[in-house]
Amino acid sequence: MLVRLTMICNGATAATRRGSFPLDEPLEPRSLTRAKAMRGTLRRADRAWTAPALRARQTAEALSLEAAVEPLLADQDHGSWAGKSFEDVQAEQPGDIAAWLTDPDAAPHGGESLADVARRASGLMEKLMAEPGHTIALTHASVIRTAIVHVLGAPLAACWKIDIEPLSITDFRSDGRRWVLRACGVTSPKAAKPLLR
C-alpha cells in the first residue's frame, strides 16, 4: 500500500515578511499570485487538507484545492508573542526566547511548545499511514519541520536548522509501515529574471 503526503507551506504574510510571530492574517498579494501559478504543477490527490489559519485556507483556495480543515495541521500557538517581532520579544524576554529556542518542551509565552507541535504532526502521520493514496496538506513551517525530524528520527532541536520557504513543497512516502522523506524545499515557479549582459 503506497501512501503519499505532500505538505505545502502556506504563503507569506506581511507579518512573516517582517519577522513577526504570526497572527491570523491574510496572505500578501505576491503570495496569492505565486500560489495561483502553482495550480498546474500539483499532482492529483485523493484528499486535500488545510490548517485552520486564514493564510493556509487562502493558499488552498489559490491552488484551487477543495481542502477540508484539519486541526492537527495548525501552526504553533505563539501565545502572547503573536503579532510581535522576534527582536521585540527577544529584547523584552531574552530568557524566555532562549528557553524556547533550546528546550522543545518550553512554552513560556503562554502558547504551545515545539514538542506539542511535534506530537500533532506525528499523530497526523500515524493516522495517514492507514490511508492509501495521496494527501495534500496545506500547513505551516513549524508543522513541516517537526514532520521532517519525526521521519528522520532526529532530535527536535534539529527543527531550528531546517528552513521552510513559503509555498515550498515537502513530499513524504509510506509503505504502510514507515515514512520516508522523498523531497524537501521544492519551491513554486517564479517569474524568470532577464540575464544581465
pLDDT digits (tens, 9 = 90+) for 3-56: 999 999 999 999 888 999 998 999 999 999 999 999 888 888 999 999 999 999
Average pLDDT, stretch 81-85?
A: 94
pLDDT digits (tens, 9 = 90+) for 124-144: 999 999 889 999 999 999 999
Tell me whether residue 179 is in a domain. yes
Q: For residue 188, what pLDDT is reported?
A: 58
Residue 161 CB neighbours (<10 A)? 9
Q: Would you call 5 helix, strand, or coil by DSSP?
A: strand
Tell me whether residue 98 is in a domain. no
Tell me whether residue 130 is in a domain. yes
pTM of the model: 0.92
Distance CA 174, CA 170 (A): 14
Residues facing residue 197 across a β-bridge: none
- Kindly list the distances between the CA atom of residue 120 and the CA atoms of 17, 43, 70, 140, in Å, as whole numbers in the listed order: 26, 25, 11, 13
Tell me whether residue 42 is in a domain. yes
Tell me whether residue 194 is in a domain. no
Tell me which residue range forms the domain holding 34: 3-78+118-186
Distance CA 181, CA 15 (A): 30
Q: Would you call 153 helix, strand, or coil by DSSP?
A: coil
pLDDT digits (tens, 9 = 90+) for 97-106: 999 999 999 9
Average pLDDT score over the chain: 92
Q: For residue 109, what pLDDT is reported?
A: 82
Q: For residue 185, what pLDDT is reported?
A: 79
Distance CA 3, CA 115 (A): 25
Name the domain count of the chain.
Answer: 1
Q: Would you call 180 helix, strand, or coil by DSSP?
A: strand
CATH number at residue 144: 3.40.50.1240
pLDDT digits (tens, 9 = 90+) for 62-75: 999 999 999 999 99
Tell me whether residue 152 is in a domain. yes
Tell me whether residue 94 is in a domain. no
197 pLDDT above the threshold of 50: no
Tell me whether residue 91 is in a domain. no
